Amino acid sequence: MEKSVAVLPFTNLSGDPDQEYFSNGMMEEILDRLFKIGDLKVISRTSSMHYKNSDKPIKEIARELGVASIVEGSVRRAGNNVRIAVQLIDAGNDVHLWSEIYSGDLTELSSIFVIQSEVAQSVARELKAVISPEERRIIEKAPTKDLGAFEDFLKGRFYLYKFTANDSEIAIKYFESAILKDPEYAPAYANIGLSWGVLAQMGYKSMDEVGPKVQESMMKACLLYTSDAADEEDSVDLGGRRII
């Protein structure tokens, strides 16, 4: 249980309810990177989101989720300036194991992905979790270089997780917009497939109708993920430089 963690919903300190998608998105992106570390037990987003705005003590939340540690955070955004505060808490004795405050500029999107990667690796380090070279490569990879595509992706997931027919269709539109801006954005394709699947699973659409759309989107995502991995394997490291 020592290497187990839950990431609680980040608090939106922007003073703008319309930025909720962004604070949720930062939490989800960090959570996604933690999921990629096989040596960690990480609680799902669905379970963690039950504690959004909860006033329960950390120890009680950790006991209910069956984890030894909790990640809390907050996001403040003003225009393209972002401030992210994150802390890792040992739930057994309510002691802070690690905390950090990051500042970034969304016009330099790579810095936001670096922050997300650093948080995940810092949490793993404090919990003595081993990260393989392949896991580190995946965690550190920037999924897109296009800010507009990233914003659309976060908005898409915000609506997807509302799990209604109308919101799922709004989510698909955002994911499609992200792909128009970055046709190589694999997670956007995967989430289009997921959105169609949600519509069928909840009875809003028939599987006969959405099945081909799910398959097409997931296949495209898999091809992009596979191509990325192959490109990385084909590169050669010379003196600290990656040569393709």
Q: 72 to each of 37, 77, 94, 117, 144, how far by Cα in Å?
A: 19, 17, 12, 16, 26
Is pLDDT of 238 > 70?
A: no
pTM (two decimals): 0.89
Q: How many CB atoms lie within 10 A of CB 26?
A: 24
Q: How many CB atoms lie within 10 A of CB 140?
A: 15
Is residue 174 within 8 Å of residue 153, measured between CB atoms?
yes
Is pLDDT of 8 > 60?
A: yes
Is pLDDT of 101 > 80?
A: yes
Nearest to 151 by CA among 34, 8, 24: 24
pLDDT in tens, 67-98: 999 999 999 999 999 999 999 999 988 899 99
Q: What one-character-per-residue DSSP string does 200-213 give?
A: HHTTSS-HHHHHHH
The single-letter DSSP state of residue 17 is: G
Nearest to 144 by CA among 191, 178, 99, 95: 178
3-state secondary structure of 42: strand
pLDDT in tens, 177-194: 999 999 999 999 999 999
Alpha-carbon distance 176 to 192, whole Å?
A: 8
Alpha helices, DSSP H, located in the chain: 20-35, 45-49, 58-65, 109-126, 133-140, 147-160, 165-181, 186-201, 207-233
Q: Which residue has the tokens 């490569």?
A: 137
